[in-house]
Chains A and B, each alone.
Chain A
Amino acid sequence: VKGLRIVGVLGATFLIATAAVAQPVVDSVVFEQGQELYQNHCALCHQDAGTGNPPTFPSLSGNDHLEDPAQIVRTIRQGAGTMPPFPDLSTAEISAVATYIRNAWANSFGAITTAEATAALDVDGFEAEGDSASVWDGVFTETQAERGRAAYPGACALCHGRRLNGAPDDPDMAATPSLARARFLRTWDGKSLATLFEYTRATMPQDNPGSLTDEEYVDVIAYMLSVGGMPAGEVDLQPDPEDLARVVIEPQP
């Protein structure tokens, strides 16, 4: 039964030791900084206990791919597959979150220094830290939001409701997350549109994830932003994770 497994995995988390055991070589300040960054940017998909939701979101706990410092640093900066890029994380922040991931849960791969991270990213094709914009900067167009409004009823409204407030029309169905306004902003505060785009594309609609086109996904996101009162601009939001990663979701400045 597709789309129903997230809860099952959440449910399994209690079986896994959640105590984070830092290795002696790991600086506890860096580890805690990495933990906070992880909670804000990674836990949505990879879960607090690093269990992820395979196969969509891989488990990080006990994942041997974490052994290669360069691969983890580059994946965070540039993204890979469903994983969105994080251009607004500094190299120091990336090394902190990588250190946390490599040493939390069942992992003990040791720390990654900022110097190691810098070296890993100092190759062709990896951009430096980038500028970021806000969802309040006019990042979509009115016509795009209108297209999203048209796509919304068939793709989203059954569960998320006509008002995007998580109240389904079918009264047998219980509440779902709000897709606009205050509650949405609290949940997504500080995350990028790339995270929202990739998360949505990987998990929604719940009964058939990925069944919209990439353009439809960004159109619906534009509609969600417009319902939340964010202003339209001159250029369509593009389904390009690198561009979307530079737009941050935040409360009205």
Chain B
Amino acid sequence: MAKTDDDDARAGAPRAATGGGDKPQRKGGNGLTRRDFVRTGAAAGLGAGALLGPDQADAQGTSTGLDDTTWDYEVDVVIAGAGCAGLTAAIRARDLGASVLVVDSNFDAGGRMLLSGAHVSLGGGDPVQGRDMTGESDREGFITVDPVEAPEELDDSVELLFADLNDWSVLDTKAQSAYRYNERDVARSWAENCPATRQFLIDNYVRFARVSGGHHGGGLSRARGARCFLLLGDRTDIKAGTITAEDAGVADPERTSPFAPVQMNDLSRSVGSPAVSNGVALARPLDFSAREKGVEFMFHRHFDELVREQPFSGRVLGIRAHYSPRHHPETGELLQSYWQNGNVEEQRETVSIRARRAVILASGGHAGNPEVRGMFYPALREPAFPTSGYAFQGPHGQDASALIAGLRIGANLAGMQQNLSYPTTFHIATRLGTRDAYTTMMPGHPTFGFRQSAGVNVGNVGFEEFIAVNQVGKRFFNEVRLPLKPTRSSYSYPGDRGTPNEGLEHTPHDWRNCRQDWVREMYNYDHGLDAALAVNEGSTAPHYYSGPLWAIFDQEAIERTGWELRAPYVADNGYSFKADTITELAERIAAGHEFQRVPLAHLVDTVATWNSYAAAGADPDFERETDAPMHPIATPPFYALSIMVVWHDSYGGLRVNGRQQIVDMQGQVIPGLYAGGEAAGGINKHGLGKGHVQGYIAGTNAAVEPTA
């Protein structure tokens, strides 16, 4: 990094990587320049004419106007967010010669990609499909097992993938047609770039196991999904493709590591030798490669706003971002990223970063912003319920930063209604006793202290062992049906299980896929979530929050199930309680939980009534006897574990075109501004596949924007 001043005092010495990992060695320079107090107009070489727009007068005195901006840093491409879209865009733009700075509100790279299952659904005839069609191994020869899918299931094309992404006949299990709403230009571009993105990921140290099925919205005519893996070995070495058992979190069932916040899964059977998989095998290779290629990172830095020539016209010139330090929950020390090569240390409250070529918004969705998500389901303004990955991502995770900043300069929205679909948008989690109920994380990662308890994943089957009560201590639904997602099987997105047939048997755009009889057959939404979020006696104006939810059970339930109510699964953190009487249990919950606003006034009566129902073998309120045995709650001690509603995905976001350029409400491209991943709307593709490909497209185009 070429610095133009000598203000190195805040730059910390790079920390040695732990876990035996080789840190990435930077190849060549970047070109980021630090430019304290340099006036933009002169620095950018803009003539006065370029600054004169029809709305120039509006710029005076506004925070987004040009005139009052001084730039602290200048770089070709600025990227907000170091997740799957941001890291991919960063590497791609850097490969094409741009200098790149990534800002992220968290202390480490990866975003939710690092917490993911690393099941990347691409296709269109991508290199992994081609490899598996011939039965070849990967280029390093790690894979020694035969392909899972038959060659004809892998015989894909861009045309077929695009057709799938516009397949109006595919309904989800709530009978909504998601692909119908996909922006066609965005879907076409996504399909066209899938093969190149797969090769790009492979070229940046990502190893894919055999293709197996699809994943969440990637179309259902062919098999397109593959999981990423690393081999277990004596050292963690991204170049060699190995990871130690300790770093992978598989050495001890109750430990994770700073390298892998979530314990990795055994993928040996799909590789042929000892291998592990999850988002770590995707995020860390990209993190490593980005640093090796000279991408620079500024962590603890929250992207706040865009600087445009005029508030609603002209080119986007850069961003402003504020210091958002995350400190270790126990030691209070500033948290540090796993690798630090390429980190820019900066602790000023606000900095302005000039983007010579373009800004790419990849800072995620809005699932962590209750006010924004309330647009889709007002009851989910309830702040008791967080988004997924809360502990790792911190308070700014998925906080709609891209959406908010984009709207402030006139950007349009797309696909917002697509939130109202699919099991992972919002649902009841089966992991009890922790606020961070979507994500597995054990002690060993520095952010474990933010959750304190790993939670007990009781599964759907666990819900027959207790009664579920609301904030006033009343039952509200048949517990057995409460956690059921609108799905009958392990996946239920369009493109996975929403149609009568799949793979070669599926005919896209065939009316029989969505005939009325089939929709009736498929519909199985139980509405337990809606009952959980209903107004109750404890709800008060103006928000009428429904409050927290509790699983209430006794000692015999533990003996029936073997649940381990001990550290690290539960903690004295306000999400699990134990008492000798129900009265005392209710008092402890009311006193000890951060979102319990009223007493559980009905809990004693509710338990007594339940016990009478259990004795009679009939539950006149919710007909529980039809689904499972009913056990009395009578043997002390008594327990309460939190039940969480989690809003995971964001569908819908800033309107983009096929180049991932953001488009305004007049249909005009906002020059110099791109978005990808959950920051962008208009294509209903869950997770990684969307983020990587859109990041790849955005990085490709941003790098060759003319310098402003």
Task: Show 24 A/B contacts (Cβ-Cβ < 8 Å), sorted by A.
Answer: A1-B214, A1-B220, A2-B213, A4-B503, A6-B489, A8-B500, A10-B488, A11-B522, A14-B517, A14-B521, A15-B517, A158-B265, A165-B458, A167-B430, A169-B440, A170-B119, A171-B388, A171-B438, A172-B216, A172-B491, A172-B686, A181-B560, A182-B461, A183-B461
Interface positions, chain B 205-237, Cβ under 8 Å from A, are 212-216, 220, 222-223
Whether, in the assembled complex, A18 has its beta carbon less than 8 Å from a beta carbon of chain B, the answer is: no
- Docked complex Cα distance between A181 and B503 (Å): 35
Per-residue contact bits, chain A 159-182, to B (CB 8 Å; 1 contact, 0 not): 101110111111111111010011
Which of chain A's residues have a CB closer than 8 A to the CB of B502?
Answer: 1, 4-5, 8
- A7 → chain B closest CB, angstroms: 5
- Docked complex Cα distance between A3 and B489 (Å): 11
Interface positions, chain A 1-34, Cβ under 8 Å from B, are 1-8, 10-12, 14-15
Q: CB-nearest residue of chain A relative to B153?
A: A1
- CB pair A4–B440 under 8 Å, yes or no, is no
Contact stretch, chosen from B266-274, B606-614, B671-679: B266-274
- CB pair A153–B461 under 8 Å, yes or no, is no
Q: CB-nearest residue of chain B relative to A182?
A: B560
- CB pair B266–A153 under 8 Å, yes or no, is yes
Whether, in the assembled complex, B148 has its beta carbon less than 8 Å from a beta carbon of chain A, the answer is: yes
Interface positions, chain B 385-419, Cβ under 8 Å from A, are 388
- Docked complex Cα distance between A149 and B503 (Å): 33
Which of chain B's residues have a CB closer than 8 A to the CB of A190?
Answer: none
- A115 → chain B closest CB, angstroms: 41
Binding site for A on B (CB under 8 A): 116-117, 119, 148-150, 153, 212-216, 220, 222-223, 253, 263, 265-270, 278, 388, 423-424, 430-431, 438-440, 457-462, 464, 483-485, 487-492, 496-497, 499-503, 505, 517-518, 520-522, 560-562, 628-629, 648, 686-687
- B625 → chain A closest CB, angstroms: 13
Given the known interface contacts A4-B213, A167-B430, the answer about A154 and B461 at a Cβ–Cβ threshold of 8 Å is no
Contact stretch, chosen from A63-71, A87-95, A121-129, A206-214: A206-214
Which of chain B's residues have a CB closer than 8 A to the CB of A12?
Answer: 500
Q: CB-nearest residue of chain B relative to A208?
A: B148
- Docked complex Cα distance between A44 and B268 (Å): 30
Which of chain B's residues have a CB closer than 8 A to the CB of A168?
Answer: 490
Whether, in the assembled complex, A205 has its beta carbon less than 8 Å from a beta carbon of chain B, the answer is: yes
Whether, in the assembled complex, A157 has its beta carbon less than 8 Å from a beta carbon of chain B, the answer is: yes
Binding site for B on A (CB under 8 A): 1-8, 10-12, 14-15, 153-155, 157-159, 161-163, 165-176, 178, 181-183, 205-208, 211
- A75 → chain B closest CB, angstroms: 28
- B217 → chain A closest CB, angstroms: 11
Q: CB-nearest residue of chain A relative to B437?
A: A171
Q: CB-nearest residue of chain B relative to A166?
A: B459
- CB pair A172–B424 under 8 Å, yes or no, is yes
Other contacts beyond A167-B431, A172-B116: 6, CB < 8 A: A1-B503, A4-B497, A162-B253, A165-B457, A181-B560, A182-B629
- CB pair A8–B501 under 8 Å, yes or no, is yes
- Docked complex Cα distance between A11 and B431 (Å): 30
5 interchain residue pairs of minimum CB distance: A167-B459, A165-B459, A1-B503, A170-B117, A154-B266
- CB pair A11–B500 under 8 Å, yes or no, is yes
- CB pair B458–A169 under 8 Å, yes or no, is no
- Docked complex Cα distance between A166 and B487 (Å): 14
Across chains A and B, the number of contacting residue pairs, with CB separation under 8 Å, is 140
Which of chain B's residues have a CB closer than 8 A to the CB of A163?
Answer: 457, 459
- Docked complex Cα distance between A155 and B266 (Å): 8
Partner of B461 from the list A157, A165, A171 (CB cut-off 8 Å) is A165
- CB pair B464–A183 under 8 Å, yes or no, is yes
- Docked complex Cα distance between A233 and B122 (Å): 49
Which of chain B's residues have a CB closer than 8 A to the CB of A153?
Answer: 265-266
Which of chain A's residues have a CB closer than 8 A to the CB of B431?
Answer: 167
- Docked complex Cα distance between A154 and B277 (Å): 11
Given the known interface contacts A2-B149, A166-B460, A170-B265, the answer about A8 and B505 at a Cβ–Cβ threshold of 8 Å is yes
Which of chain A's residues have a CB closer than 8 A to the CB of B267?
Answer: 154
- CB pair A205–B269 under 8 Å, yes or no, is yes
- CB pair A3–B117 under 8 Å, yes or no, is no
Q: CB-nearest residue of chain A relative to B427?
A: A174
Which of chain B's residues have a CB closer than 8 A to the CB of A165?
Answer: 457-459, 461-462
- Docked complex Cα distance between A2 and B153 (Å): 9
- Docked complex Cα distance between A68 and B212 (Å): 40
- CB pair B266–A1 under 8 Å, yes or no, is no
Partner of A1 from the list B116, B223, B521 (CB cut-off 8 Å) is B223
Which of chain A's residues have a CB closer than 8 A to the CB of B483?
Answer: 175
- Docked complex Cα distance between A207 and B517 (Å): 29
Most buried by A among B265, B440, B464: B265
Q: CB-nearest residue of chain A relative to B456?
A: A163
